[in-house]
Amino acid sequence: MQRNYESALRLLETRRRNGRPAAVIASSGGSRENNYHPRGLPSLHGMKEWLGILGYTERDINGLNIVHITGTKGKGSTCAFTRCLLRAHGLRTGFPRRIGLYTSPHLRCIRERIQIDDQPITEDLFTKYFFEVWERLFLDGQPNIQPAGQPRFLQLLALTAFHTFLSEKVEAAIFETHHGGEYDATNVIERPVVSGVTSLGLDHVAQLGPTVEDIAWHKAGIFKTGSPAFSVQQEQGPRDVMKKRAEEKGTTLDFVPVNNNLLPNDVEVLGVPVQRINFSLAIELSRILLQAKAPGNMLTNGDISCGVERFSWPGRFEIITEATTTWLVDGAHNELSVGQAAEWYANVTRNCPVG
């Protein structure tokens, strides 16, 4: 097979499975919010071993200065807001000079999942780093990885992202979980600088459990000892579960209110109430990272304004105008998202014609 972009995509597709197996209820033991466990091997299984085969240690991963983000709704937007804020600060001060962003799913091309400095990595870079991972794990490393098996589609993408960011020497990286948290492949991150949880709701219930408390337990699995955690405001049930998990994991958890100093509602990107929530969380996550890794450098109002201006997240409350036609685009995929998208659509069309 030729070592080109098209071949990389074909190989990656061979690692996709038909669907996630449903979780099973534990037969005994565990608290109520911890009774749902993955069937088969969790996505986290093997990640540490595969990173080791690629030559990376826990210290290498921690050196990426990671912001780890989970939740049900708004993960991608919060990741993008955080990236824009850190980028604005970096352009002004020199830190962070390069910023990696790993998210899923993608809208137009797979490379949107692995971005550096506001842009998906190029086809050449994706091809280079994908094949370096593939050849080490599936060819040269074959005898060494039998105990862990071979990475599946999302695991392979996450490994490629880690390899890309380390090879390209990014100074900060933002990682969005695939789904869940406790057993997610990205939870191989042992020491994020800070963790964040966006709005919680019912999604992936077959794997995470039938209640929002079950889901909160899984999402809070990304909390790590010594790494502060932040969440948007949550309902009392999941809030209590998350607070308990933070205590168990030896970290602090703060619930972030909407920042009253944000720009006016007529700024398009902040005209959607939920985006003001996501942006408020992103401000706190960015502030903590800078406080920890660039002492003396603070996120300024200018950085915040610049971050809003730079924000772009296709398919999330996106307005596209073409000649006489206006398109409203949002990738809502669960009950919570659909409700927010419908409210946004109603508000926009109330003020302008849409065709």
Sheet holding 66-70, edge to edge: 119-120, 114-116, 99-102, 172-176, 66-70, 194-197, 229-232, 253-256
How many other C-beta atoms can be found within 10 angstroms of the C-beta atom of residue 123? 16
Q: Is the peptide bond before 120 cis (omega within 30 degrees of 0)?
A: no
CA angle 38, 40, 42 (to 5 degrees): 55
Indicate the burial class of 17 (C-beta count within 10 angstroms; 0-12, 13-18, 19 or more): exposed
**Residue 49 confidence (pLDDT):** 95
**Residue 143 confidence (pLDDT):** 46
Task: Tell me how far apart the alpha carbons of residues 334 and 94 are, in angstroms, rounded to a whole number.
Answer: 39
How many residues are there in the chain? 355
**Residue 28 confidence (pLDDT):** 36
How many other C-beta atoms can be found within 10 angstroms of the C-beta atom of residue 301? 9
**Residue 339 confidence (pLDDT):** 65
Dihedral sign computed on CA atoms, order 206, 209, 215, 217 = negative
**Residue 26 confidence (pLDDT):** 52
Domains of the chain: 39-313 (3.40.1190.10), 317-355 (no CATH)
Contact 149, 46 (CB under 8 A): yes
**Residue 341 confidence (pLDDT):** 62
What is the full per-residue pLDDT of the chain (355 aa) written as tens digits? Answer: 689 999 999 999 999 877 665 555 553 333 445 555 666 678 899 999 999 999 999 999 999 999 999 999 899 999 999 999 999 999 999 999 999 999 988 888 999 999 999 999 999 999 999 999 999 998 764 544 445 678 999 999 999 999 999 999 999 999 999 988 999 999 999 999 999 999 998 876 666 777 899 999 999 999 999 999 999 999 999 999 999 999 999 999 999 999 877 765 545 677 778 889 999 999 999 999 999 999 988 999 999 999 888 887 565 666 666 766 776 666 565 566 676 666 555 666 666 654 4
Tell me the per-residue pLDDT of 141-183, one tens digit each, with 9 for 90 and over: 454 444 567 899 999 999 999 999 999 999 999 999 998 899 9
Closest by CA to 66, choosing from 170, 217, 221, is 170
Is the overall model pTM greater than 0.75, yes or no?
A: yes
